[in-house]
Structure 1
Amino acid sequence: MNFDPRAFRDAMGQFTTGVCVITANPPGVAPFGMTVNSFASVSLDPALLLWSLRNDSECYEAFAAAKRFGVNVLCEDQQHLSNQYSKKDDHQLNPEHFRIGKTGVPVLRGALTSFECDIWQRYDGGDHIILVGEVLEMDCRPNGRPLVFQGGRYKALR
């Protein structure tokens, strides 16, 4: 099969996803975050989740040094945070946007849900690394409305 990576990306983009900012602050690195939509639950017992990171990401080395990370599921009114932390080479967290969570990782203020995780395992995923985290702490606002992304743009749930 002759495979076009762009066509595959466009096809995958038809799957509606939530939008998350993954945060961390390993030793020697200022708190930072990057926008992703590659997030999923893995297991309830133990509580595991995953997300993936491109091998050539400018955040790769910082996440390689991290032992913990946060997953912040954004609310529909946080599109500006998604846009800000998706910019190349501009991932340092604005101090007004976060607090330090119970496990010491940065957690975004106002997120729909935040998970604080230990890195459980890292797996090769082609041109990505798959990071599986064990959830240690979480904060959830079940009545908020999520920021969603589909077909290359933000959408609103109705």
Structure 2
Amino acid sequence: MNADNVVIDAGIPSPADLRAVLGHFATGVAVIAAHDGTRPMGFTCQSVVSVSLDPPYVSFCPAKSSTSWPLLRRTGTLCINILAEDQREVCGRFAVSGGDKFAGVEWSPGANGAPALHGALAQIEASVAVEHDAGDHTVVLARISGLRATEGARPLLYYRGGFGGFAG
């Protein structure tokens, strides 16, 4: 074994062990956004996954420490903006708490009123259907009501604690 290998003994892995091993799974990066009738809100999320084609469901997992998710949850309608490779700055802006995350970010209301970010690789409009307690996160199941995608752009990826693109 080389020095880069992580070996987990039997038992419950530590959060550091989980990050070290699960970080080897590259994920896309999204901004989950909503509008409360007064202002747009959003947060960065990399735990978006397709759940069901019929009926159409998607899932994502906000941290319980998130100050944004409780505000978005109240609206009931969301736009999951899948970020393109050139939107690393947008990702960083929505990953921090507080401030006006939408300042300088171009967006338009989607069919459900939630913010669709300009330049995003894809948008998934959805409504919150079910939430499930899952340790330090919440699993959100959302029913899809609309979809859009941009051909030719490349995704922003998160891998082993860093951001990059897809060269394939």
Task: Please indicate, yes or no, whether the TM-score normalized by the shorter chain is above 0.5.
Answer: yes
CA contact (8 A) 1:34 1:91 kept: no
1:24 to 23, 34, 57: 34
| Aligned-residue RMSD, C-alpha | 1.5
Residue equivalent to 2:4? none
In the other structure, the counterpart of 1:10 is 20
CA change 1:5–1:101 in 2 (3 A) is same
- Within the candidate set 106, 114, 134, 2:143 is matched to 134
SS of the equivalent of 1:33 reads strand
- Does the CA contact (< 8 Å) of 2:105 and 2:117 recur in 1? no
Distance in 1, Cα, partners of 2:12 & 2:132: 27
Amino acid at match of 2:43: M
State the secondary structure of the residue aligned to 1:56: coil
TM-score (norm 1): 0.92
Specify which of 99, 103, 115 is matched with residue 108 of structure 2.
99
Q: Distance in 1 between matches of 2:55 and 2:100?
A: 30
Query: Aligned residues, how many?
Result: 157
In structure 2, the partner of 1:67 is 76
User: TM-score under structure 2 normalisation?
Assistant: 0.87
CA distance in 1, matches of 2:164, 2:118: 22
1:4-25 alpha-carbon deviations (Å, 9 max, x no partner): 1111122111110111011012
Contact 1:16–1:150 (CA under 8 A) maintained in structure 2: yes
Segments of structure 1 that go 5 or more residues without pairing to the other structure are: none
Superposed CA offset, 1:61-97 (max 9, x none): 2033121111000111111100111112236323642
| 1:2/1:129 CA distance change after superposition, 3 Å | closer
**Which residue identity is paired with 1:111?**
A
Per-residue deviation, residues 23-58 of structure 1 (Å, max 9, x unmatched)? 012355x20111110000000011110001111211
Distance in 1 between the 2:14 and 2:130 partners? 30
Distance in 1, matches of 2:85 and 2:101, equals 22
